[in-house]
Chains A and B, each alone.
Chain A
């Protein structure tokens, strides 16, 4: 009995001897999870950016659950951190916990996604313009297709998440007024490869073995990679028979692009923390509040951009 108890306790306290850091700032970062390669890279880059500035980063992975994120934020408040970064898993339900942070005068910066909450509850949000990303992808497709008729299938992100809503909206905006291009089918692939593949398989089955599909638009690269697999298994050529356009610009999509299996991707930079730390430092130094929204760049990559070189550069980030 005693031994069992000791084992359990040992497991509980199993940790690195986390000494007290000499760094002046401690920042808590509540990450959604590691559902996509992009998010893993965001985590890596955030840790790198913190290290570069000598900031102690407390990292909490929420495993895709809002309740875990709220717990982590409360934990950060209890630790009296200097600032909290949150990549929110859903848009709603943050008011209460952010009010607590505000009462303790801990600035909160949102990374990568926005929330439905009064603007005074957070310092700023560092995000890409997700509607714009969808539009860049859509504009590329409109240009690529020209005047041909085209049936597009869409792999949506996690149901209800803001990138899924906005990337769909932006893409539809780009397609508006081009009646030759139609979104024939649209379903959630939950931002994952396996679901992307599954859903693409069902699209192909539903659309006459895939011959009727001219392009697939995936809300992230991971689903596109899954879709490419499904297209290949159906005996079609991804990139030629069915054009593949997606968002995020993770390394694997550049590999696919180099092989001609993917056509275009819109970059969602994983470096949200860099601008966030800059804004935080400026705020702490002279109490100057940054604008409520710091927009990151949404760059379009196609086969012309030397995909292998980009792949090499991005490989080490943990995508």
Chain B
């Protein structure tokens, strides 16, 4: 018997496996290590950002600044490394500090000023995008030995595919993220706040520091996603990754995390990312479909999952009511 809480995750996994099987039936070439390698590499930056988003949504919040922070990071790194000749490692460290501080500041405003996360992170979104424009409006190329080395480093799968550094970084972030969510005090606090902030506070959960921590983590991972994006395109561009936060939210929800918070798995987000990537790959293989089908299918999936989540909440409430009735 599957626990009802895990039902969305199992459904997502099922959909992914069935959808992949159907794709392979139509295009046998899609069952290749190359396609799997591509799925991981091409969605690396989105995946990394989505892990941060998972924590935010688990706590019942939202972070709309992700796409802009990625763009800011990429431009910032590109200008530091490409134009000013700073060593990439220093640029990476600097940008991670900035994005983490940026996230914690947003978290502090949400917690201590009592402003809804939606509003604070919306402001953050404009701020980061504006800052990116301020640095450079043109796409800035980077060429540095170290970046070329990172880009050129990969393990070759049998059959031509490749497991790139970016793919490995994303997998690592998912593994660490899943561990933090499931096995640490911080993770437990996030779930508790998402379930009910008031009860969490009464139970003695440090709501303040956890909230700041959640947005700091999301900021840090957005910065890391920005670095991944910079490595992915070896350039920085202030117009890049518009709306990536929405893709990340979609991946989290499709992955079975409740938008109201408290329930969900980091692993589900991973499958959510893969489903999005799979749809895009299918459309490229088909070659005649409008690429906007990606959005349409994601929209349909989101609807399905929101309805499914509602159903689960309704079902568990009823069971709870029934068991209470029995007690009486």
Q: Which residues of A contact B (CB under 8 A)?
A: 1, 4-5, 7-9, 11-16, 18, 28, 56-63, 65-68, 70-72, 74-80, 90-93, 95-96, 104, 116, 158-160, 165
**Which of B22, B42, B290 is close to A61, meaning CB atoms less than 8 Å apart?**
B290
Scoring B residues 224 to 257 as 1 if CB is less than 8 Å from chain A, else 0, what string do you get? 0000010011110111111000000000000000
Asked if A68 and B291 make an inter-chain contact with CB atoms under 8 angstroms apart, the answer reads yes
Give the residue of B26, B233, B282, B304 whose beta carbon is less than 8 angstroms from that of A67: B233
Q: Does B140 contact A (CB under 8 A)?
A: yes
Write out the residue numbers on chain B whose beta carbons fall within 8 Å of the beta carbon of A91. Answer: 139, 141
**Chain B: number of interface residues, binned into ranges:** 35 or more
For B277-302 the 0/1 string (1 means CB < 8 A from A) is 10111111111111111001100110
Select B19's contact among A1, A9, A65, A66, beta carbons within 8 Å: A9
Q: Most B CB atoms within 10 A — which of A4, A5, A116, A165?
A: A4
The residue that B279 contacts in the complex, of A12, A65, A90, A92, with Cβ under 8 A, is A12
User: Interface of chain B, helix or strand or loop or mixed?
Assistant: helix
A315 to B138, CA, bound (A): 34
CB distance from A134 to the nearest CB of B (A): 17
Whether the pair A75, B19 counts as a contact (CB closer than 8 A) is: no
| A95 contact set on B, CB distance < 8 A | 151, 234
Most buried by A among B233, B235, B279: B233
Chain B residues whose C-beta falls within 8 Å of the C-beta of A62 in the assembled complex: 291
Is A12 within 8 A of B19, CB to CB? yes
Q: Which residue of B lies closest to A69 (CB)?
A: B233
Q: Which of A7, A8, A12, A66 contacts B240 (CB 8 A)?
A: A66
Other-chain residue from A13, A56, A79, A93 in contact with B234 (beta carbon distance below 8 A): A93
CB of B202, distance to nearest CB on chain A (Å): 36
Question: Roughly how many angstroms separate A104 CA and B285 CA in the complex, as a whole number?
Answer: 17
Residue in chain A with minimal CB distance to B148: A95
**B308→A92 contact, CB < 8 A:** no
> With A1-B308, A80-B29, A158-B239 known to touch, is A61 a contact of B291 (CB < 8 Å)?
yes
- List residues of B (110-155) whose CB comes within 8 Å of A's CBs: 137-141, 151-152
From B23, B283, B284, B300, A11 is in contact (CB under 8 Å) with B300
Q: Report chain A residues within 8 Å CB of B151.
A: 95-96
Q: Evaluate whether A9 and B138 lie within 8 angstroms (CB atoms) in the complex, with A4-B307, A15-B286, A59-B287 already known.
A: no
Q: Is the CB of A12 within 8 A of B282?
A: yes
> Which of A12, A15, A58, A93 sits near B139, CB closer than 8 Å?
A93
**What is the minimal beta-carbon distance from B255 to any residue of chain A, in angstroms?**
14
For the complex of A and B, 8 pairs with smallest distance between CB atoms: A58-B287, A93-B233, A75-B284, A92-B235, A160-B138, A93-B235, A92-B141, A61-B291
- Give 16 A-B pairs besides A66-B233, A72-B280 with Cβ atoms closer than 8 angstroms: A5-B15, A8-B297, A12-B279, A13-B22, A15-B289, A18-B288, A60-B283, A74-B38, A76-B284, A78-B35, A78-B38, A95-B234, A96-B232, A158-B239, A160-B137, A160-B237
Contact of B304 among A8, A71, A92 (CB under 8 A): A8
The distance from the CB of A145 to the nearest CB of chain B, in whole angstroms, is: 30
Minimum distance in angstroms from A154 CB to a CB of chain B: 15
A159 close to B239 (CB less than 8 A): yes
B85 contact set on A, CB distance < 8 A: none
A15 — which chain B residues lie within 8 A by C-beta? Answer: 26, 282, 286, 288-289
B260 within 8 A of A: no
Does B87 sit at the interface, judged by CB under 8 A? no
16 contacts between A and B (CB under 8 A): A8-B19, A11-B296, A18-B288, A63-B291, A71-B280, A78-B32, A90-B237, A92-B141, A92-B234, A93-B232, A104-B160, A158-B239, A159-B238, A160-B137, A160-B237, A160-B239
Interface string of B69-92 (1 = CB under 8 A from A): 000000000000000000000000
Minimal beta-carbon separation of B144 from chain A (angstroms): 13
Q: Which chain A residue shows the least CB distance to B234?
A: A93
Q: Which residues of B contact A79 (CB under 8 A)?
A: 27, 29, 284-285
**B14 at the A interface (CB under 8 A):** yes
Complex Cα spacing A93 to B139, Å: 9
Q: What residue in chain A is nearest B290 (Cβ atoms)? A: A61
Q: How far is the CA of A92 from the CA of B18 in the complex (A)?
A: 37
Q: How far is the CA of A63 from the CA of B237 in the complex (A)?
A: 16
Residues on the B chain within 8 Å of A11, using CB:
296-297, 300
A3 to B233, CA, bound (A): 41
Complex CA gap A99/B308 in Å reads 44
* B316, chain A: closest CB distance, angstroms: 15
In contact, A70 and B233 (Cβ under 8 angstroms): yes
**Interface readout for B11-39 with A: 1 if CB under 8 Å, 0 if not?**
10011001100110011011010110010
Chain A proximity of B130: nearest CB distance (Å): 13
- B237, B296, B297, B307 pick with most chain A CB within 10 angstroms: B237
Q: A57-B287, A59-B288, A61-B292 are known contacts. Are A5 and B233 too (CB-CB below 8 A)? A: no
For the complex, what is the distance from the CA of A160 to the CA of B289, rounded to whole Å? 29
